[in-house]
Structure 1
Amino acid sequence: MKAICFYFQIHQPFRLKRYRFFDIGNDHYYDDEFTNEDILSRIAHRSYIPAAESLLRMIEESKGKFRCAISLTGVVIEQLEIYVPEFLDLLKKLADTGCVEFLAETYSHSLASLIDPEEFEAQVKAHDQLIYEKFGQHPKVLRNTELIYCDEMAPMIHSMGYKGVITEGAKHILGWKSPNYVYQAASCPKLKLLLKNDKLSDDIARNFSNTSWEAYPLTADKYIDWIASTPADEQVVNLFMNLETFGDFQPRETGIFQFLEALPRFAAERGVEFITPSDAISKLKPVAELSVLHPISWADEAHDTSAWLGNKLQNEAFNKLYSVAERVRLCTDRRLKQDWNHLQSSDHFFYMSTKHFNDGAAHAMFSPYETPYQAFTNYMNVLADFLVRVDEQYPKSIDNEELNALLSTINNQNSEIEMLNKELQSMRNNLEHLNEEHATRAAVAQGKKLDENLQVEEAPAKKATVKKGCKKNVEKAPKAEKKPRASKKAKNDAADEPKA
């Protein structure tokens, strides 16, 4: 049976306010609260909330046969809690249906996987814990930022406990192969790969309202027919897109919500089912290994990382930020760590893209800046102040070698403390065990002593009873009656009596 695997992405960064050179060292607050609230609230009410309501209706009307996956970053959850908490309530309802799977990703929607494996792992773990706290699920499948993936990442992702990864079905990687199968990572065969069907995903996300598109208008029955008519041995069609597709990229007036809600009915008629990424990985066998030597993503036609690291501006900002990663991880300043998370969002580097600036429509849709050079200048001013604060925690006089030595010492001490704690716990367990044995033996010995005393006490008691009984018998024996002595007068009278 052919299956559709829907995945929807939700992310909004903390956009930076206009930060001047003269603010460095004086102003440590970087977020543009007005812009963040305005954009998130607008998109939530135009797209996120009505789309979530549609998904709920689809699950209820199909009696649980419609299933899908959602991923949302930690930084967007922080904003939703402040500005649109009602949308989080809707997501909780979706989670409670048991038909929606939440995926893992980086907390900050960062590019840490490309430069700092330790930071990448820390962010994914933080995101995993947040998803569990909010929705009661520990994700089993990872969705890295912008679907970025390469062979080098696979062993680390699998070691973190994830069974699969979703990524882009890039043509230069697949070649003649189809994205409509489950694959396994070449560098870690136990890790499964689900690849985005680029064409069928873009037919909804980009072409739905395009009147010049040859297949316009797109209807639900036509779309399901396309999927059902793919080769019979192709297992799963992965449709990955931003949730903003519904209501924002494709406005409500286009009929996008009606199209979405009609899909389960036509899918049931054509024998097409809906599954989650975990369902696909557990139910479907991989058909082959897939090698990805260089990082791929779902951005642009090239499907690489040039959207964020394609020019000198981006690379300068990126390398400068992660040059202090070790120092930030050592500090305990909560506000500093929060700013560290916000500054890592890949969006800041996307705004610096000169190739996206040349594509005016795409740049204007996402960037709050007029030019990528403004984006770079503003970000570097903020970053300069952030670095000053980091230096206050760990001064520049501590070079990388000293810092690494300090980290090694701390790690060794932590390991030693952990080992000693384990030994201490083991000794405590042994002591408790010995105390229990001692108490048991003491109780047994005491019981034996009590038994012996009881026997000793019982034996003399019986003898005493016998002796006492004999004495009583003696006392009870009748005594011989003594004849009373006759008085002298009686004797004289008896002598005076005449004999017969």
Structure 2
Amino acid sequence: MKTICFYFQIHQPFRLKRYRFFNIGRDHYYYDDYSNEDILQQIAGRSYIPANRMLLDLIRQYKGKFKVAFSISGVALEQLEIYSPEVIDGLRELARTGNVEFLTETYAHSLASLADPEEFKQQVAMQAERIKMLFDQTPTVLRNTELIYSDDIADMACEMGYSKMITEGAKHILGWKSPNYLYQSQNRPELKLLLKNSRFSDDITYRFSNYNWSEYPLTAEKFISWIADTPQEEQVINLFMNYETLGNLQPSYTGIFEFMKALPRFAFDQGIGFATPSEIMDVHKPVGAISVPTPISWTDEERDVGAWLGNTLQKGAFKLLYDIAERVRLCTDRRLKQDWLYLQSSDHFYYMSTKHFSGGHSNFSPYESPYDAFNNYMNVLSDFIGRIKAQYPDTVDNEELNSLLTTIRNQEIEIKRLELELKKVIGRNEEKLVVKQKDK
């Protein structure tokens, strides 16, 4: 039996305000609150809210046979809680059905996995805690920012205790192989990998309303027939996409909601079911291993990380940001910690891309040019670095910082040990007190 796995990504960055050189050292608030609220509320109204309602109706209509999965960045959750809490309410209602799985990712939707393993692990743990708190689920599947994956990231995932991960079915990695199977990491066989089917996913995300597409219009019946016509042994079809596909990237007038509503009926008629990523990875066995020596993603034709780290502007800003990571981890200032997370969002580097700027990349950028994006971000980063160095100056070298961090971590371990011992002592004393009272 063939199975469709629907996975939706929700992310919105905290966009930066126009921050000029003379603001450095004077203004420590970096965000464009008006744009952030306006954009999120527009997208929520057009996409998130009606899509939540539609998915809930489908789950109820088909009595639990229709299933989907979500990955929502921590910074998106923060904005939803502030500007559109009804979206969170809708997602909670979906979670209560038992037919919706929530994955974990980096809290800041960051590129930390490419620069700072410690930061990557901390953000994934932080995000898992947030998902547990909001949706009462403990994530078992890891989804890295922009589906970025490599052999090194596989090592980090396993070290964090994850045995399931989703990523892109990149052609230059798979070669003749099909993405419609479950795979495993070559260097960490215990890590199962579910791969995006780019053709079918992009048919919905990008080509659905394209009048020039030879297959336009795309109907649910036609789409399911394509899936049914795949080789019989290919049992898993992974449709991974941005949640904004429903209502924003593909506006409601294109018929995208009607398409989605009709999809399950035609699927079930063809004997095709639906499952979440963890269900598929629990049931199916890997058919082979894949090796990914250099990072892949789900962006651009090359499926690499060039959209964020493809030019000298991006690389320079990226290096400068993570050069101060150890100092940030030492500080206890909540405002600094918050800014650190918000400044790591991959979007800031995406806006600096000179790759196809006249095309798709510029459509999502609030800046006039990549250079404008770079200058604005660097001004903000300069102020942020100044605030960090005010607490931990350059006179303290990295070796001293590492030593201090080790001391702090050892102290934390010792404190936890002593707290546990204290609880045991209190417990024993309480037991003795109960015995004495009984003797009396």
Measured in 2, the distance between the counterparts of 1:431 and 1:384 equals 55
Alpha-carbon distance, 1:162 to partner: 2.2
- Judge conservation of contact 1:351–1:367 (CA < 8 Å) in 2: yes
- Judge conservation of contact 1:235–1:284 (CA < 8 Å) in 2: no
Q: Superposed, which structure 2 residues align to 1:234-383 within 5 Å?
A: 234-357=234-357, 360-383=358-381
Alpha-carbon distance, 1:187 to partner: 1.6
Q: What's 2:123 paired with?
A: 123
Q: What's 1:162 paired with?
A: 162
Q: What's 1:400 paired with?
A: 398
Q: What's 2:408 paired with?
A: 410
1:295-353 alpha-carbon deviations (Å, 9 max, x no partner): 10001011011110111100111111111111111111111111111000000000000
Alpha-carbon distance, 1:425 to partner: 5.8
1:209-262 alpha-carbon deviations (Å, 9 max, x no partner): 111111111100111011111111112000000011111111111111100110
Q: Which runs of 5+ in 2 are unaligned?
A: none
Q: Superposed, which structure 2 residues align to 1:199-210 within 5 Å?
A: 199-210=199-210
1:122-156 alpha-carbon deviations (Å, 9 max, x no partner): 10111111111111111110110000011112132
1:264-312 alpha-carbon deviations (Å, 9 max, x no partner): 1001100000000011000111111111111100010110111101111
The code of the aligned residue for 1:390 comes to I
- Change in Cα spacing, 1:438 to 1:63, as seen in structure 2 (3 Å) is closer
Q: What's 2:172 paired with?
A: 172
- Judge conservation of contact 1:69–1:101 (CA < 8 Å) in 2: yes
Measured in 1, the distance between the counterparts of 2:408 and 2:10 equals 38
Measured in 1, the distance between the counterparts of 2:419 and 2:232 equals 58
Alpha-carbon distance, 1:356 to partner: 3.5
In terms of fraction of residues, the more helix-rich structure is 1
1:12-65 alpha-carbon deviations (Å, 9 max, x no partner): 100000001010111000000111111111111111111111111111111111
Say which SS state the counterpart of residue 355 (structure 1) adopts: coil
Measured in 2, the distance between the counterparts of 1:269 and 1:122 equals 45
- Change in Cα spacing, 1:397 to 1:3, as seen in structure 2 (3 Å) is same
Q: What's 1:9 paired with?
A: 9
Q: What's 1:213 paired with?
A: 213
Q: Superposed, which structure 2 residues align to 1:451-466 within 5 Å?
A: none
- When normalised by structure 2's length, the TM-score is 0.96
Q: Superposed, which structure 2 residues align to 1:412-427 within 5 Å?
A: 412-421=410-419
Measured in 2, the distance between the counterparts of 1:418 and 1:320 equals 34
Alpha-carbon distance, 1:433 to partner: 11
Measured in 2, the distance between the counterparts of 1:417 and 1:130 equals 25
Q: What's 1:386 paired with?
A: 384
1:413-459 alpha-carbon deviations (Å, 9 max, x no partner): 33344445556666x3896599699979x97xx9xxxxxxxxxxxxx
Measured in 2, the distance between the counterparts of 1:31 and 1:431 equals 53
Measured in 1, the distance between the counterparts of 2:342 and 2:52 equals 26
Measured in 2, the distance between the counterparts of 1:434 and 1:276 equals 47
- Judge conservation of contact 2:352–2:373 (CA < 8 Å) in 1: yes
Q: What's 1:225 paired with?
A: 225
- Change in Cα spacing, 1:93 to 1:433, as seen in structure 2 (3 Å) is closer
Q: What's 1:480 paired with?
A: none
Measured in 1, the distance between the counterparts of 2:34 and 2:93 equals 29
The code of the aligned residue for 2:284 comes to L
Measured in 1, the distance between the counterparts of 2:279 and 2:418 equals 43
- Change in Cα spacing, 1:370 to 1:234, as seen in structure 2 (3 Å) is same
The code of the aligned residue for 1:398 comes to V
Q: What's 1:53 paired with?
A: 53
- Change in Cα spacing, 1:361 to 1:425, as seen in structure 2 (3 Å) is same
- Judge conservation of contact 1:30–1:382 (CA < 8 Å) in 2: yes
How many residues are paired up? Answer: 440
Say which SS state the counterpart of residue 7 (structure 1) adopts: strand
- Change in Cα spacing, 1:425 to 1:83, as seen in structure 2 (3 Å) is closer
1:192-213 alpha-carbon deviations (Å, 9 max, x no partner): 1000001011111111111111
- Judge conservation of contact 2:351–2:362 (CA < 8 Å) in 1: no
RCO greater where, 1 or 2, for CA within 8 Å and sep 6 or more?
2
Percent of aligned pairs with the same amino acid: 62
- Change in Cα spacing, 1:135 to 1:422, as seen in structure 2 (3 Å) is closer
Alpha-carbon distance, 1:159 to partner: 2.9
The code of the aligned residue for 2:216 comes to Y
RMSD, aligned CA:
2.0
- Judge conservation of contact 2:16–2:31 (CA < 8 Å) in 1: yes
The code of the aligned residue for 1:397 comes to T
Say which SS state the counterpart of residue 92 (structure 2) adopts: helix
Q: What's 1:111 paired with?
A: 111
Measured in 2, the distance between the counterparts of 1:433 and 1:53 equals 52
Q: Which moved more, 1:404-413 or 1:134-143?
A: 404-413
- Judge conservation of contact 1:140–1:161 (CA < 8 Å) in 2: no
Q: Which runs of 5+ in 1 are unaligned?
A: 447-500
Q: What's 1:136 paired with?
A: 136
Q: What's 1:76 paired with?
A: 76
- Change in Cα spacing, 1:133 to 1:430, as seen in structure 2 (3 Å) is closer
Measured in 2, the distance between the counterparts of 1:153 and 1:355 equals 25
Measured in 2, the distance between the counterparts of 1:211 and 1:425 equals 68
- Change in Cα spacing, 1:415 to 1:87, as seen in structure 2 (3 Å) is closer
Say which SS state the counterpart of residue 356 (structure 2) adopts: helix
Say which SS state the counterpart of residue 25 (structure 2) adopts: coil
- When normalised by structure 1's length, the TM-score is 0.85
Say which SS state the counterpart of residue 356 (structure 1) adopts: coil
